[in-house]
Homo-oligomer: A and B are copies of this chain.
Amino acid sequence: MTAVASAEIALRDFSADHRWLSINTATLRKQGDLADIVDACAKAEIRAISPWRDQVAAIGLDRAVRLVKDAGLDLSGYCRGGMFPADPAHLAQSRDDNRRAVDEAAALGARCLVLVVGGLPQFSRPGSEASKDIIKTRAMVEDGLGTLFDYAKTVGMPLAIEPLHPMYAADRACVNTIGQSLDLCDRLDPAPSGQLGLACDAYHVWWDPALMAGIARTGRARMLAYHVCDWLVPTRDLLNDRGMMGDGIIDLKALRGAVEATGYDGYCEVEIFSDSWWSKPMDEVLSTCIARHRTCV
């Protein structure tokens, strides 16, 4: 894997600086609010972040917009829209909530709105009638995504589908592979407009037998964001035991080689949900992200 990737492409040089590093603010969500995180990232000379909606809401959208602009931060993405599946009584909520996410992403000047598409309706939009039908649920995703895409195009906000690891298929995202995501893109946006594509997260896709073919098929037009962390062995929790890059078993350099071979030259966004890293001081987490970005990604 490494041999193939390195034969195809010389990786961008991360060793000297960290100008391609972005910090997903969920990585620091327990240590401070968005204002604290923006401040710490600016001090660490990090150029980009990807904030979450609840963190923006907690300090207010207008203040978040000002903070980000004053700090000169780029936004590699905005997390997150999606959670499309809903029963008829909850469809309007799903639609309106997603439109607001697009508007917020535009106000913040984000490069894309990241979409976690949702699982079965009872988990995506609580209160919805329970279902075990994942095929129908996937059709609900396509309907909701198509409706949102129509709106997002009018605003000019690219939508980035994030295929999630299959262990989240029931409750968070029933779109679980790059190939499945691209099939959706191809149906809704047949001539790639740059307005619909993928957020490719190493944690979610590393295991896929069709990984390298999927990344190549994604291409530059559909590769809207690239996220990294690591897969720990053992993994002690399905949600909050992701690893710092280098601490797990993902061949991150081979993966980045494949991603960059598409022509992708955007940010490498660190997103770590981890009870362990959430318990450490913000500055220690950031300095570790910077060091590992130079050596392990």
Q: Which residues of A are in contact with B by a Cβ distance under 8 Å?
A: 1-2, 120, 123, 132-136, 138, 165-167, 169-171, 174-177, 179-180, 206-209, 212, 231, 233-236, 238, 249-251, 254
Given A123-B233, A165-B167, verify A207-B176 contact (CB < 8 Å). Answer: yes
12 A-B contacts, Cβ less than 8 Å apart?
Answer: A1-B133, A1-B134, A120-B249, A123-B233, A132-B251, A133-B251, A134-B206, A135-B212, A170-B207, A170-B249, A171-B233, A234-B238
Starting from the known contacts A123-B233, A134-B207, A135-B212, 10 additional A-B residue pairs (CB-CB under 8 Å) come to A1-B136, A120-B249, A132-B250, A133-B251, A165-B167, A166-B208, A169-B207, A174-B207, A176-B209, A177-B209
Question: In the complex, what residues of B have CB within 8 A of residue A233's CB?
Answer: 123, 170-171
Question: In the complex, what residues of B have CB within 8 A of residue A212's CB?
Answer: 135
**A138 adjacent to B169 (CB under 8 Å):** no
Question: In the complex, what residues of B have CB within 8 A of residue A238's CB?
Answer: 167, 234-236, 238
Q: Which among A1, A2, A134, A180 has the highest number of chain B CB atoms within 10 Å?
A: A134
Docked CA distance A222–B235 (Å): 32
Docked CA distance A175–B209 (Å): 8
Q: How far is the CB of A244 from chain B (nearest CB, A)?
A: 15
Q: How far is the CB of A33 from chain B (nearest CB, A)?
A: 27
**B251 adjacent to A2 (CB under 8 Å):** no
Question: In the complex, what residues of B have CB within 8 A of residue A251's CB?
Answer: 132-134
Given A234-B171, A234-B238, A249-B120, verify A166-B134 contact (CB < 8 Å). Answer: no
Docked CA distance A212–B133 (Å): 13
Docked CA distance A253–B44 (Å): 55
The contact of A138 among B166, B170, B209, by CB within 8 Å, is: B209
Question: In the complex, what residues of B have CB within 8 A of residue A123's CB?
Answer: 233
Question: In the complex, what residues of B have CB within 8 A of residue A132's CB?
Answer: 249-251
The contact of A167 among B2, B136, B138, B235, by CB within 8 Å, is: B235
**B207 adjacent to A166 (CB under 8 Å):** yes
Q: How far is the CB of A70 from chain B (nearest CB, A)?
A: 40
Docked CA distance A221–B120 (Å): 33
- Smallest Cβ-Cβ distance to A174: which chain B residue: B207
Q: How far is the CB of A256 from chain B (nearest CB, A)?
A: 13
